[in-house]
Amino acid sequence: MQIAQNSVVAFHYTLTNDAGEVLDSSEGREPLTYLHGAGNIIPGLEKELEGRAAGDKLNATVTPAEGYGEKQEQLVQEVPRDAFQGVESIEPGMQFQAQTEGGPLMVTVTQVSGDTVTVDGNHPLAGQTLNFDVEVASVREASEEEVEHGHVHGEGGHEH
């Protein structure tokens, strides 16, 4: 069976940046399972997987526009330390959920300088070209319930 709209796909992957550094991998874990066409993975990788079948191996290069987007400098802001009420120690790398005009946004602390904390609301991989080494483990047709819910159920997926 080929990967198409409403297929349940399981695949192993290694993700590297342009410097060749491994950013993520399914090595030693179960394959990543998703519902094709439901927006469960980044668009560029989903496009590369279209038409593939179990056992296929591929290398996919995904641009920022087809991945996690370009880095938006307006999402990097300096905020006063007292905006983090109840948090004793703030360190770079910590993540918080900020309430914005557009709704909740995950931000990552990038710098702490005195009473000022710099936070970044961009996805950590925004602005980066992503290189995937992929092996398709399995492909099956999604159930009606999976299509209706927009995600995989059962093994490798969501349990209700």
Q: Phi, psi at residue 91, to the nearest 5°?
A: -125, 150
Structure tokens at 93: 């790398």
Evaluate whether 5 touches 132 at the Cβ level (below 8 Å).
no
Per-residue pLDDT tens for 31-82? 999 999 999 999 999 999 999 999 999 999 999 999 999 999 999 999 999 9
Please enumerate in sequence order all residues whose Cβ is within 8 A of that of 95, keeping only pairs 6 or more positions apart, or say none.
Answer: 106, 107, 108, 109
With 0.95 as the threshold, say if the pTM is over it.
no
Instruction: Count CB-CB contacts under 10 A for residue 139.
Output: 21
CATH architecture of 7-68+125-149: Roll (3.10)
What pLDDT is recorded for position 101?
86
Q: CB count, 10 Å around CB of 94?
A: 16
Q: Where in the chain is the domain with CATH 3.10.50.40?
A: 7-68+125-149
CATH class of 73-120: mainly beta
pLDDT at residue 160 greater than cutoff 70: no
